Amino acid sequence: MSSNDETPTGSAKPKNSQTSFNKYNKDSRSESPAPSRDVATSARRKHKKNIKSEQPVRINMIVETDELLMLNRESQQTEYKGIVRMPQNGENYTLEGQHRRYYPDCEYHFPFTRPWQRMVYDGIQNKYFSRQAKNWRCLAIYLAGFLLFFLTVNMTMFHHLADRLNMATPVIKMSQPYLSFAPVGTKPAHKLIEYNPDNATDIQTMRKKLHDFLLKHGRAKGQIKRFGPCQEDNNFGYDTQQPCVFLKVNRLLGFHTKPYKHSEDVIRDKLAHNDYASLDMLLRIRVNETERKDRIWLTCTSWPNKRAVVEYYPEPAFKTRYVDADQFTDIKLYNEKITFQGKSDMNRLVALKIKHLQLNENNRFNCKMWAFNIGHSHSHVGQVHFYIRIKKTNSILDKNQGINV
């Protein structure tokens, strides 16, 4: 081989490679004008790899920033009071079980917490009791207007009703007369008449109750003969074992009694055996027709003591002319109260003298009124019941047993 043909290997390869690359590049441009799918995929993977390589750097920067903030916070050496303790790395706030107190920047931990001083007046928002001054003024004006309207309407209605009110006529009318008794017991056992005939206090209490009761119904000084032995001079029998009880029937406007005049008027099938026997006997023993005319009959039975005896003064009946009324003519003031009692109201009272009572037991009495148009549908309609208990003790001491007998 000649010297001209000898060339270095290194210089020949670049020339051939450059030629071949240009040729390949030229051919590739002519054959595929767009990049292949493999090239695009590899480019995307390379981009994601670069992002992942940058992420740890960012996380490290955030951690370093948090540590710097924590160190800066500890360097301030702020004393936090109350129920919140500043957290350490990775910890949460803890509660110490104490009352909440204010400390710097606590509104970021409990934004709705306010001391009681700010509940009264909040200088930041200019509020009194969580309301501004103009709101309180509007509320005061509204309340004043509402009260004025309410009082005006009520006073107008009151005067309108008062002008039309007739004091001589009750607003609500009863269907029939009612019975009541005196003296009444102490609350809540107002139907129990309990006393000790040997106790001066009990005797005086019962005497005063009946004295006031008779005084309200037109009682005059001295004895009232129509009540027989039931007089104030003998303490109405409460110093003995034979007390007196007064029954009263109320007047009723517009009511007209239809009385029983003969024993044949009483229908036996409609009454109980004891009631029929008592009422039939009342009508039979009064031979004179005038004694049976215009009467509301009265009967009283006892239980469980069947031996008790009841005496009626002046008679076991009320006269209808003192019960039926078309209007009240004797209206007067009694202890600053309007009353409808007069001197004739003594005729609406009947005294009961009760004998043979059992000691230390509740003796029950049921008294009923009788007429064609007076019924007994309920325990308080047309009838009344009460109890009498006589407290009697024996002071004899049994020396053998050491107890009172």
Q: Where are the alpha helices (DSSP H) in 175-237?
A: 200-216
Q: Which two tokens stand for residue 79?
A: 């004393």
For 90-104, what is the mean pLDDT?
52
Give residue 359's pLDDT.
93
For 262-272, what is the mean pLDDT?
85
Instruction: Identify the H or E element spanning 75.
Output: helix 37-76
Give residue 3's pLDDT.
42
For residues 201 and 269, which has the higher predicted lDDT (pLDDT)?
A: 201
Size of the chain, expressed as the number of residues it contains? 405
Query: Is pLDDT above 70 for 58?
Result: no
Beta strands in 118-166 (DSSP E): 121-122, 127-128
Give residue 151's pLDDT.
95
CB-based contact 283:235 (threshold 8 Å): no
Instruction: Identify the H or E element spanning 53.
Output: helix 37-76
CB-based contact 384:247 (threshold 8 Å): yes
Taking only the tens place, the pLDDT of each residue in 271-287 is: 888 889 999 998 888 87
Beta-carbon neighbour count of residue 259 at 10 Å?
20
For residues 110 and 304, which has the higher predicted lDDT (pLDDT)?
A: 304
The mean of the pLDDT values for the chain is 74
Smallest CA-to-CA distance from 178 within 377, 359, 18 is with 377
Long-range (24+ apart) CB contacts under 8 A made by 189-193 are 191/385, 191/386, 191/387, 192/362, 192/386, 192/387, 192/389, 193/243, 193/245, 193/386, 193/387, 193/388, 193/389
Smallest CA-to-CA distance from 349 within 259, 215, 239 is with 215
SS3 per residue for 240-286:
CCCCEEEEEECCEECCCCCCCCCHHHCCHHHCCHHHHHHHHHHHHHC
Using CA atoms, how far residue 251 sits from 61, 324, 340, 353, in Å, is 104, 6, 9, 24
Give residue 373's pLDDT.
92
Q: Which two tokens stand for residue 7?
A: 């060339």
Taking only the tens place, the pLDDT of each residue in 303-325 is: 888 899 999 999 999 999 888 87
For residues 340 and 239, which has the higher predicted lDDT (pLDDT)?
A: 239
| Percent of the chain's residues with pLDDT above 70 | 60
Query: Is pLDDT above 50 for 255?
Result: yes
Q: Determine whether 350 is exposed, middle or buried from the number of CB atoms within 10 Å of its CB (0-12, 13-18, 19+).
A: buried
Give residue 79's pLDDT.
47
Whether the pTM exceeds 0.85: the reply is: no
Taking only the tens place, the pLDDT of each residue in 36-52 is: 455 455 655 655 555 55
Q: Left, alpha or beta for 236 (phi > 0: left; psi -120 to 50: alpha)?
A: left
Query: Is pLDDT above 80 for 4?
Result: no
Give residue 131's pLDDT.
81
Taking only the tens place, the pLDDT of each residue in 214-233 is: 988 876 666 788 999 999 99
Q: Tell the residue number behind the tokens 């000084």, with chain if given.
A: 221
Using CA atoms, how far residue 270 sits from 87, 249, 273, 375, in Å, is 92, 24, 10, 11
Give residue 303's pLDDT.
87
Of 169-178, 346-355, 370-379, 396-405, the one with minimum mean pLDDT is: 396-405
How does residue 237 score in pLDDT terms, banded at 50, 70 and 90? very high
Give residue 122's pLDDT.
75
